[in-house]
Amino acid sequence: MPHALPRVIDEIAVAALPAAGSNGHAAVPRDPTQTRRLTELIARLKTERRAVILAHNYQEGSIQDLADFTGDSLGLARQAKATDAEVIVFCGVHFMAETAAMLCPDKTVLIPDLQAGCSLADMVTPEAIRAWRVAHPDGLVVCYVNTSAAVKAECDYCVTSTNGVQVLQSLPEDRDILFVPDFYLGSYLKAKTKRKIHLWRGYCPAHAALLPELIESLMDAHPEAEFLMHPECGCLTKQMHLADRILSTEGMVQYVNRAPGREFIVATEVGLLHRLRALYPDRRFYAASEHARCHHMNRNSLEKVAQALVSMEHVVRVEPAIAERALRPIERMLAIT
């Protein structure tokens, strides 16, 4: 009976689960006792279900704190592939959970909130890629990992913000390349690799709103701070040259560890600041904008993680015919990097 309630669950504790915030989002303040109770309950459920909790760097702090692994999209895909747990609770957004489900078809992948999608991933469709291929029969299509499985199934290579340069550099110089869907990451890859990249016009709303003016005023206010930029940022095209480092979320975490500086301006979703501050309490971090929040990522909450483990919902599955094709660009990426 895989979906039966785990034996050790104290039904009173389950019944006392507070409802998720009235708007269904995690940003609703929770008192520390409630957080502790939920964390303890999740730990018990996790053992009963033989589950692992994987969290993206943008998740609310209390989820990052209890996760078995917190990282960027590449790290999460690798962890999913490597785990021997039976159940993966994927605290991130849907395309990330889909990637995990395709990489480990024998495991149950759960996402705490099925509505946790990705506006950027929604900006490109399989039909659009097929149309581009008709016009460019010798072209290659490279997708950012922020795409649905159905889109990945139409692509030749996948990249994350960690390995995009490396993957693009491995491709032949004379081929036309369509990069989907992020315009800013695509612009960065084009500048770095000098490949013949056709740019799609998609963008992440949280990152695209990080405009040059915001960064300039922060740099004036904190002249000693290093400027770390995620390649999805709206300031990228004008300020690529100003950034001390253009990095994925995990790249930022690792860079701070070896950086001589003590202060950093961080241009990405604010969830990463929790991890940075927890790891490096002696450094100072300034968010490029406190409003840079992904409302999809923030749909997940501790309450929903507990509920997912109780009810074994929501299971993320990818149709086998799509998964077979979508895995090709993902496996190619993993083989290169």
Interface residues with ligand 13P (CB under 6 A)?
Answer: 57, 72-73, 146, 160-161, 204, 232, 248-249
Least distance (Å) between residue 294 CB and ligand 13P = 7
Residue 221 and residue 147: Cα distance in Å, rounded? 37
- Looking from the CA of 163 toward its CB, the CA atoms found within 13 Å total 21
CB 60 within 8 A of CB 80: no
Least distance (Å) between residue 150 CB and ligand 13P = 18
Closest to ligand 13P by CB, 62 vs 249, is 249
Burial pattern 267-284, b for ≥16 Cβ within 10 A else e, equals: bbbbbbbbbbeeebeebe
Closest to ligand 13P by CB, 72 vs 154, is 72
Closest to ligand 13P by CB, 108 vs 147, is 147
CB 190 within 8 A of CB 199: yes
Least distance (Å) between residue 204 CB and ligand 13P = 5
Closest to ligand 13P by CB, 67 vs 310, is 67
Residue 303 and residue 207: Cα distance in Å, rounded? 27
Which residue type occupies 11?
Answer: E
Closest to ligand 13P by CB, 182 vs 303, is 182
Residue 320 and residue 127: Cα distance in Å, rounded? 19
Least distance (Å) between residue 118 CB and ligand 13P = 7
Closest to ligand 13P by CB, 93 vs 323, is 93
Residue 191 and residue 235: Cα distance in Å, rounded? 15
Place of tokens 């290579």: 157
